[in-house]
Amino acid sequence: MKIKIYFVLFLVYSTQLKGQTKFTKNQILEDLSYLKTALLEAQYDIYESVSKTAFEKGFTKIKNQIIKDSLSILEATNTLQQLPVLVNNGHTSIDFPGAEYMKYASSDKATIFPLELAFEGDKALIRKNWSSNTEINIGDEILSINGASIKEILNSIYRQVSGERKMMKNVKIEMYSFPRYYWQIFGQVNNFEIQIKCKGIIKKHSLNAISLMTEYEDRRSELLNAKMTLKFYNTIAYLNPGSFDGDLENFKLFIKNSFEEIQNKASKSLIIDLRNNSGGDNVFSDYLVSYIANQPFTWNSSFELRTSKLLKESCKKSNKSKYWQSIFNHKNGQRYSYEFDKTQPQPINNRFKGKVYVLVNRQSHSQATVTAAQIQDYNFGTIVGEETAEFPSLIASVFYFKLPNTGITVQMSKGKMIRVNGSTKHEGVIPDIFIKDYLLDEDDEILKGILKRI
């Protein structure tokens, strides 16, 4: 059986859950209360993005949903996941229940909805058709499933997905995939009555669910697919650095060797691809940027941290770095400014001195978005593609902890960063050259478009 990279991630999450599969009502209520306290005391500031009244009202509504005397881990996740969603912050979250999805997938009888979706404006469009129905076309708009409008279905899913805006939630649904989220909310469904709109005409279709592993997971690929790549188009070098995480020394070696080869080939232009990138750590991205920078640089104009008892318990006390020591040197609950040292550019003979183009799309996440903004603000390169869903000025810098009863992992944002140019607009990185990225086909519109322009 073919196991995909994303399934490896799901398996990692599965090790973070306790062996217990059923939890009492009181255990869930205790975890909910613990999570609320954590959000109030350890998140940078939940009230920057939600009012106290709305948060308390939402908490009460979630609490009142807990009626059953016994809940499964999936039911517990679906309930508890809704509380960080109220904060409207993409980095404060309980992620998709990958461990339970894997457990479900291990059954030969596991099935799933056969259509993947992409979102363009307010329309949900069919991106992949894994069913046997050949009358359904890529790009058709889906209107309803089993009598529920797509708007109603998405609103149910949105309650489980953290994000600053609807665009970010839609991007996450594209990333994890609509069929997986449909399973999370509605469980196993084997038959579907759908309505679609094709060229202005509304049609009805009956679909069967497909085998989760053999007809879905084994046939598809994940959207977040950034991979270390260097290739050349005549005098144009193309560099995909991969995500900004993993083995730092291996990353540095790849970047160093890439720029040496780019220099040896006397490339006049460089394309850096940050699309479909999960992000990571600025230690990685700053090393990349140092090869195109012409002055010392940083990745923010201001950065603030909030320390807390929970953060101190969650991070490694043995870490002696200046950054981590600052966390222990401040009182719990205190917010304070932290200034990172500027990164120096590479020696002039090692730098790339030609024209730099940086590709982004809505699936450029976290540090990939911040890096694109950094390059744009210092004028180190020209940004090409479409607006990122992620904001370059945002509350992020995460740490992780587990809820005491269920063992569910929570991702918590402890910091607030402002992009280099100081803008705090609620918008993504806006490209200097706009080229639409259509997820409905396999054509690479952005890369082809910029190659024609150079």
Last residue of a domain, one of 188, 217, 246: 217
The percentage of the chain sitting over the pLDDT mark of 90, rounded to a whole number, equals 90
Does 243 fall in a domain? yes
**Minimal CA–CA distance to 194: which of 186, 184, 202?**
202
Structural domain that includes position 423: 229-453
332 and 440 in a single domain? The answer is yes
Last residue of a domain, one of 105, 134, 167: 105
302 vs 104: CA distance, rounded Å: 45
Tokens 């976290």 appear where?
366
442 vs 426: CA distance, rounded Å: 30
Segments in 15-137 forming alpha helices (H): 25-42, 52-65, 73-80, 82-85, 98-105
Question: With bands split at pLDDT 50, 70 and 90, how would you rate the model's confidence at 4?
Answer: very low
The CA–CA distances, whole Å, from 45 to 50, 169, 364, 393 equal 9, 21, 25, 15
User: What pLDDT does residue 256 have?
Assistant: 98
Phi, psi dihedral angles at 283 (to 5 degrees): -60, -35
From 82-86, 119-123, 319-323, 395-399, the region with the lowest mean pLDDT: 319-323
User: What pLDDT does residue 145 have?
Assistant: 98
Distance linking the first and last C-alpha atoms of the chain: 44
**Which pTM was predicted?**
0.93
63 vs 178: CA distance, rounded Å: 27
Does 118 fall in a domain? yes
Half-sphere exposure (Cβ direction) of 171: Cα atoms closer than 13 Å: 27
User: What pLDDT does residue 21 have?
Assistant: 81
Tokens 């805006």 appear where?
165
Q: Is it the case that residue 5 has pLDDT exceeding 50?
A: no
User: What pLDDT does residue 8 have?
Assistant: 41
254 and 335 in a single domain? The answer is yes
82 and 62 in a single domain? The answer is yes
CATH of the domain at 167: 2.30.42.10
CB-neighbour burial class of residue 162 (10 A; exposed 0-12, middle 13-18, buried 19+):
buried
Q: How far is CA 253 from the centre of its chain?
A: 26
Q: How far is CA 382 from the centre of its chain?
A: 24
Dump pLDDT digits (tens) for 164-180: 999 999 999 999 999 99
330 vs 348: CA distance, rounded Å: 40
Over residues 90-118, mean pLDDT: 96
